[in-house]
Amino acid sequence: MIVDPSSAGSQAASTSGPDRALERALAAARTADDHRGRDIVILDLRGLTTFFDYFVIVTGTSRRQLHAISEEIDDALEKGLGDRRMGIEGYDESRWILLDYGDVVIHMFEPETRAYYDLEQLWAQAKRVPFEPRFAPSSPDVHGTQSGQP
């Protein structure tokens, strides 16, 4: 995906504020959780880049689930917050779907693709935003550790 700096997160954040970006990231994470997304992580990238403020990273178990999560996030952010997606990548292939909201970028992966690209390690210096899923999966996460609540 090519990012146009004139429409990237720093501009979106200046018109909507960092609290609005966090609200958008949390809404996307909650929506993914509501649709059984797994291993949901929100990374705060504000101190590391000016292109975007937050990543939301989610694992889905099937192409159908990844499509449903992406469509529901679009719907929740548009209807609930009045935000429109600036771009989408990977929807047809469905191994990695990226939704671009300017200051928030949502990454939805199938498990193998998430493990391969390992964005959490790539952006290891980013702070993690606390997020507790309502639906705790019982299977190991992409790093082989048990995720969710006991």
Measuring CA to CA, which residue among 11, 22, 5 is closest to residue 131? 22
pLDDT, averaged across the chain: 83
Q: Could you give the count of Cα atoms lying within 13 Å of 76 in the half-sphere of its Cβ? A: 20
Cross-sheet strand order for the sheet of 87-89: 87-89, 96-100, 104-109, 54-59, 38-44, 127-129
Q: Tell me what pLDDT residue 149 has.
A: 40
In order of their start, the domains of the chain are: 5-129 (3.30.460.10)
Measured between alpha carbons, how far is 69 from 27 in angstroms, rounded to an integer?
12
Write the CA distances from 150 to 29, 61, 95, 135, 136, integer angstroms: 20, 21, 29, 11, 8
pTM of the complete model: 0.78
Between 30-34, 46-50, 63-67, 141-145, the lowest mean confidence (pLDDT) is in 141-145
Tell me what percent of the residues of the chain surpass a pLDDT of 90. 70
pLDDT tens profile 125-148: 999 999 988 865 544 554 554 444
For residue 77, what pLDDT band results from cuts at 50, 70 and 90? very high
pLDDT tens profile 91-116: 988 899 999 999 999 999 999 999 99
Q: What is the mean pLDDT of residues 17-25?
A: 86
